[in-house]
Amino acid sequence: MELDNRKSDQGSNAPFSSNLQLYSYCHSSCSWRIRFALCLKGIPYEYKEVDLVKGEQYSPEFERLNPLHYVPVLVDDNVVVSDSYAIFLHLEEKYTQKPLLPVDPQLRALNLQVASIVHSSIQPLHMLAVLKDMEKMFGAESKPWAQFTINKGFSALEKLLKDFAATYATGERIYMADVFLAPQIEQAVQRFGVDMSKFPTLSRLYETYKALPEFQASSPQ
């Protein structure tokens, strides 16, 4: 596997150095969450591209990092963490500058819940490997399934956030919920053609996210 090793300048103005390596695929929304979080927290890292289309996740090198063959994987000195939810919490606990979880118990729980819905109940059901397996095993067109699962999750998120959302998902500061929502909404719109008019709160948040320099810097483009 030939990894694309690039030193990210996202967060290059951070007043500390780190030895982070992020194994990522540019179009993976899971990986994007972590790139976005790193950028928001101002943490420099080394970017290592794992091309899922070429099957680089099945290489012996990557399998030693994550036997599940999923991205992202974060290597932080001698600590190896896979799964974006776990990686986010690791970053939040170790790198405490610019916190992305609120102190208020209610808002903290809400952020964890929103992130969990995206991480557990939406994205895994339309990830690339699942859609490929669906088409291979059942001969089914995968896009309608992806749209169904996203619409179901977005309907729940719309109801959950309608009384809390302001500039951002849970108020006037950007937090974990936004980090997980932003790439998910982007993929829903750009990749799967989901009609966002049914979700006015999420649509308004999406417009806010698109204007953020950190979101733009961490995007696949």
Residues 67 and 117 in one domain: no
One domain, residues 107 and 63: no
Residue in the block written with tokens 């036997």: 67
Please provide the DSSP assignment of 146-190 as one string: HHHHHHHHHHHHHHHHTTT-SSBTTBSS--HHHHHHHHHHHHHHH
Q: Which domain holds residue 65?
A: 18-92
Looking at the structure, tell me whether residues 63 and 115 fall in a common domain: no
Q: Is the pLDDT of residue 80 over 70?
A: yes
My answer on whether 87 and 143 are in the same domain is no
The pLDDT score that the predictor gives to residue 201 is 98
**Does the pLDDT of residue 9 top 60, yes or no?**
no
pLDDT tops 80 at residue 92? yes
CATH number at residue 85: 3.40.30.10
Residues constituting the chain: 221
Supply the pLDDT for residue 12: 36
Mean pLDDT of 110-129: 89
In a domain, 129, yes or no: yes
The predicted pLDDT at position 131 comes to: 65
pLDDT number for residue 199? 98
> Does residue 76 carry a pLDDT above 60?
yes
Tens digit of each residue's pLDDT (9 = 90 or more) over 131-179: 676 677 777 678 888 899 999 999 999 999 999 999 999 999 999 999 9
pLDDT score, position 2: 44
The reported pLDDT for the residue numbered 16 is: 53
User: Would you say residue 6 lies in a domain?
Assistant: no
